């Protein structure tokens, strides 16, 4: 990993009593017992967007990862999202129902494809394949992503450690 620092600042203004305001107040004031606001934000962003970020970097020629490395990253993100789902179900007594899981996936996939297509249009080099053409709506549905099992004593790839990705100190 590079020792060069990356500074990213965001300013968001929402109504204090809105759902977003309540969420941001919780994060800003570190009202969670175990995690800092930076840890909570980065953990969620990594699980939700990390594989997509690497895919976009690869399409722009800035990263060169193997297909198996990309799949591993996506599988780890899906695992983290499923852990969060299980935590929410346990915390709020919500039963797991198979009919609801993935019900909105086609709609969300279309929204994500639109965002990716808009991102590609804003890029100056249009010779690269667009993200929208390389991702199919079914690819973003967790139910359609096979999870390969690995033995616990198998070595992890050196370039990527899922524990570092989701449990790194910030």
pLDDT at residue 3, rounded to an integer: 86
Give domain status of residue 79, yes or no. Answer: yes
Q: Which long-range CB contacts under 8 A does 90-99 form with residues at least 24 apart? A: none
Concatenating the DSSP letter of every residue in 130-170 gives PHHHH--GGGG-GGGS------TTSPPPTT--HHHHHH---
Give domain status of residue 152, yes or no. Answer: no
Give domain status of residue 139, yes or no. Answer: no
Give domain status of residue 151, yes or no. Answer: no
- Please give the mean pLDDT across all residues of the chain: 73
3-state secondary structure 104-131: CHHHHHHHHHHHHHHHHHHCCCCCCCCH
- Is residue 43 within 8 Å of residue 166, measured between CB atoms? yes
Give domain status of residue 130, yes or no. Answer: no
Residue 166 reports pLDDT greater than 60: no
Number of domains in the chain: 1
Number of CB atoms found within 10 A of residue 72's CB: 20
Residue 147 reports pLDDT greater than 50: no
pLDDT at residue 80, rounded to an integer: 96
Give the structural domain span for 52: 34-92
pLDDT greater at residue 167 or residue 119:
119
pTM comes to: 0.57
| Mean local confidence (pLDDT), 2-18 | 92
pLDDT at residue 170, rounded to an integer: 44
Residue 64, helix vs strand vs coil: coil
| Token pair listed for 120 | 């590609």
Nearest-10 Cα torsion for 37, 104, 93, 23:
20
Q: Rounded to the nearest 5 degrees, what angle is found at the Cα of 157, between the Cα atoms of 64 and 56?
A: 30
pLDDT at residue 47, rounded to an integer: 96
For 29-47, how does the pLDDT look when each residue is reduced to its tens digit (9 = 90+)? 877 778 888 899 999 999 9
pLDDT at residue 37, rounded to an integer: 86
pLDDT at residue 59, rounded to an integer: 94
Give domain status of residue 62, yes or no. Answer: yes
Which one of 4-8, 14-18, 123-127, 142-146 scores highest in mean pLDDT? 14-18
Q: What angle do helix axes 37-59 and 67-92 make, rounded to 10 degrees?
A: 150
Give domain status of residue 75, yes or no. Answer: yes
Residue 121 reports pLDDT greater than 80: no
Give domain status of residue 125, yes or no. Answer: no
């Amino acid at each position: 990993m590079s020792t060069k620092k990356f500074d990213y600042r965001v300013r968001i203004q929402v109504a204090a009593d809105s759902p977003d305001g309540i969420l941001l107040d919780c994060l800003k004031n570190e009202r969670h017992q175990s995690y800092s606001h930076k840890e909570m934000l980065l953990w969620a962003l990594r699980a939700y967007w990390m594989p997509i970020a690497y895919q976009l970097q690869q399409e722009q020629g800035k990263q060169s990862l193997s297909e198996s490395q990309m799949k591993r990253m996506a599988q780890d993100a899906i695992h983290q999202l499923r852990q969060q789902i299980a935590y929410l179900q346990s915390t709020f007594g919500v039963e797991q129902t198979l009919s609801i899981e993935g019900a909105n996936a086609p709609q969300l996939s279309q929204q994500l494809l639109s965002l990716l297509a808009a991102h590609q249009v804003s890029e100056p080099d249009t010779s690269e394949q667009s993200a929208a053409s390389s991702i199919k709506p079914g690819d973003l549905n967790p139910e359609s992503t096979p999870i390969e099992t690995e033995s616990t004593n198998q070595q992890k790839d050196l370039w990527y450690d899922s524990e570092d990705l989701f449990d790194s100190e910030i």
